[in-house]
Chain A
Amino acid sequence: DIQMTQSPSSLSASVGDRVTITCQASQDINNYLNWYQQRPGEAPKLLIFDTSALETGVPSRFSGSGSGTQFTLTISNLEPEDIATYHCQQYGGLPLTFGGGTKVEIK
Chain B
Amino acid sequence: QITLRESGPTLVKPTQTLTLTCTFSGFSLSTTGVGVGWIRQPPGKALEWLALIYWNDDKLYTPSLKSRLTVTKDTSKNQVALTMTNVDPVDTATYYCAHRPGFWSGYFSFWGQGVLVTVSS
Contact = CB atoms under 8 A, between A and B. Distances in A.
What is the interface of chain A mostly: helix, strand, loop, or mixed?
A: loop
A7 interface: no
B1 interface: no
Contacts of A42: 113
Nearest to A94: B60
A100 B42 CA distance: 12
Contacts of B52: 96
Contacts of B111: 43-45
Interface in A86-107: 87, 89-91, 94-101
A43 B96 contact: yes
A100 to B, nearest CB: 5
A55 interface: yes
B63 A95 contact: yes
B16 interface: no
Contacts of B63: 1, 95
Interface stretch (B21-29, B82-90, B100-108): B100-108
A87 B46 contact: yes
B107 A91 contact: yes
B109 interface: yes
A46 interface: yes
Interface string B24-51: 0000000000000101000000111100
A44 B46 CA distance: 11
Given A49-B105, A87-B46, A43 B112 contact: yes
Interface of B: 37, 39, 46-49, 52, 60, 62-64, 96, 105-114
Interface of A: 1, 32, 34, 36, 42-46, 49-50, 55, 87, 89-91, 94-101
Given A42-B113, A91-B106, A96-B106, 17 more contacts: A1-B63, A36-B47, A43-B111, A45-B111, A46-B108, A49-B105, A50-B106, A50-B107, A55-B109, A87-B47, A89-B49, A89-B107, A89-B108, A95-B60, A95-B63, A95-B64, A96-B62
8 contacts: A34-B107, A36-B108, A43-B111, A44-B96, A45-B111, A46-B109, A96-B62, A100-B46
